[in-house]
Amino acid sequence: MSTSGERGRVVVVGSANVDLVVDVPRHPGAGETVLGGDLRRSPGGKGANQAVAAARAGGADTTFVGAVGRDDGADLLLASLDAAGVRTDLVARVDAATGTALITVSPDGENTIVVAPGANAHVRLDAEDLARVAAADAVLAQLEVPLDVVRDAARARRPGVPMVLNAAPSRDLPDDVWDAVDVLVVNEHEAADLAGTGRPGDGGGAPGGAGGARGSHDAGRAEALAVSLLARVPAVVVTLGGDGCLVARRGQGALAGPEVVVVPAFPADVVDTTGAGDTFCGVLAAGLARGADLPTAARLAAAAGALAVTRRGAQDAVPDEHDVVALAARR
Ligand code: RIB
């Protein structure tokens, strides 16, 4: 698949946020006030996190296409992307505040996140952006930017180049976006939302130990959800937190049933799950851009996710490629 040597070219189209993070003893209920720890301010946003992961943890030649404001939040984000080796020449500066995420993290590492989109709502793809997408070996998007952007990116890719959609945060997808997706990455909640079934009772789950403890996921239910989503897309990855992830693909041939592969989790001491799913997605796309098959890329992605949950922050927690490869080789 890759036309750029060993690394592969990834274009990530999506959001960039300044994360305002507070550790809390527990997440507040409606109408409740909880005293937390000191405020931390760090680079985040699902798109920017995934771009940092594709470059730093996945080793890909990575471009991030997004929008930031003309404020110091933009400087924080561009500095983090640059430090990870992500190309930032296509990041637009717009007349809106840089996106902001308000995040609480509980002692078990679970989070709640509310996003004020700001500049992310102004992301558009111009001719230069579309040309970069057309030169990519894998394209990766999420749902914190307008759906038109996802659609335009998918249309601009070369035939055979995988369009990976991390359908987070959960929202309904129009038919033309469904039709544009090659690989859908979702947690159990997002899978249930897209399949139109009720949500499971436990944590949805970023991979590698995040989003629900080991053994807390119903693998049978996750498989049923993944297989039902194969009616809309050729391949689905359901992340299962401490239980790893599940890769489902349409069978080859008219009579072949779906192929399902379970990728076990790598053990992790969970500190903060924020952005672990993004690390997973970025490394997955990097693997696909290099020509890896989906289960192989998912295994590397699971190793990266397991390392990410052991550190605080989103982009700040993305591991180095060397550590990802070393962990993945252990099993
Ligand atoms: O997935 C984690 C990310 O979600 C955070 O960095 C936050 O900015 C939101 O986009």
> 7-20 as b/e, with b when 16 or more CB fall inside 10 Å?
bbbbbbbbbbbbbb
Residue of 76, 102, 115, 316 to mutate, ligand 1, most atoms within 8 A of C-beta = 115
State the pLDDT at residue 252.
82
Q: Binning pLDDT at 50, 70 and 90, where does residue 212 land?
A: low
Which ligand 1 atom minimizes the distance to the CA of 46?
A: 10
Q: Whose CA is nearest to atom 9 of ligand 1?
A: 45
- Give the whole-angstrom CA distance, residue 223 versus residue 204: 14
pLDDT of 210 > 50? The answer is: no
Distance CA 205, CA 216 (A): 10
On average, the pLDDT of the chain sits at 93
Q: Which of 17, 114, 315 to mutate to test the pocket of ligand 1 (most atoms within 8 A of CB)?
A: 17
Q: State the pLDDT at residue 78.
A: 98
Task: Choose which residue among 12, 19, 20, 190 to substitute to test ligand 1 binding: the one with the highest number of ligand atoms within 8 A of its C-beta.
Answer: 19
Q: Is the pLDDT of residue 208 over 50?
A: no
Instruction: Give the pLDDT band of residue 65 (cuts 50, 70, 90).
Output: very high
Percentage of the chain surpassing pLDDT 90? 87
Confidence of residue 205 (pLDDT cuts 50, 70, 90): low
What are the structure tokens assigned to 95, written together? 């007349």
| Nearest CA owner, ligand 1 atom 1 | 275
Q: What value does the mean pLDDT take over residues 199-207?
A: 57
* Average confidence (pLDDT) over 77-99: 98
Cite the active site residues. 278
Atom 6 of ligand 1, residue of closest alpha carbon: 44
Token duo for residue 202: 């436990």
How far, in Å, are 49, 74, 140, 268 from residue 77 at the CA level?
10, 5, 19, 27
**How far is ligand 1, taken at its centre, from the CA of residue 258, in Å?**
32
Interval between CA 46 and ligand 1 midpoint (Å): 5
Tell me the CA–centroid distance for residue 253 and ligand 1, in Å: 39
Distance between CA atoms of residues 179 and 216, nearest Å: 32
Please report the pLDDT score of residue 219 as a whole number: 80
Q: Residues lining ligand 1, judged by CB closer than 6 Å? A: 15, 17, 19, 44-46, 49, 101, 113, 115, 144, 274-275, 277-278, 314
Q: Is the pLDDT of residue 253 over 80?
A: no
- The pLDDT of 60-64, averaged and rounded, is 98
**pLDDT for res 256:** 82
Judge whether 59 and 318 are in contact, CB under 8 Å: no
Ligand 1 mean position to 76 CA, how many Å? 15
Task: Work out the pLDDT band at 33, boundaries 50, 70, 90.
Answer: very high
As a whole number, mean pLDDT of residues 114-130 equals: 98
Q: Residue 209 above 70 pLDDT?
A: no
Structure letter (DSSP) for residue 209 = T
Q: What is the pLDDT of residue 207?
A: 57
pLDDT of residue 164 exceeding 50, the answer is: yes
Rounded to whole angstroms, the Cα distance separating 206 from 86 reads 23
Question: What's the gap in Å between 150 CA and the centre of ligand 1?
Answer: 18
Confidence of residue 215 (pLDDT cuts 50, 70, 90): low
Residue owning the nearest CA to atom 8 of ligand 1: 45
Distance 127 CA to ligand 1 centre (A): 28
From the CA of 314, give the closest atom in ligand 1.
6
Three-state DSSP at 79 gives: helix
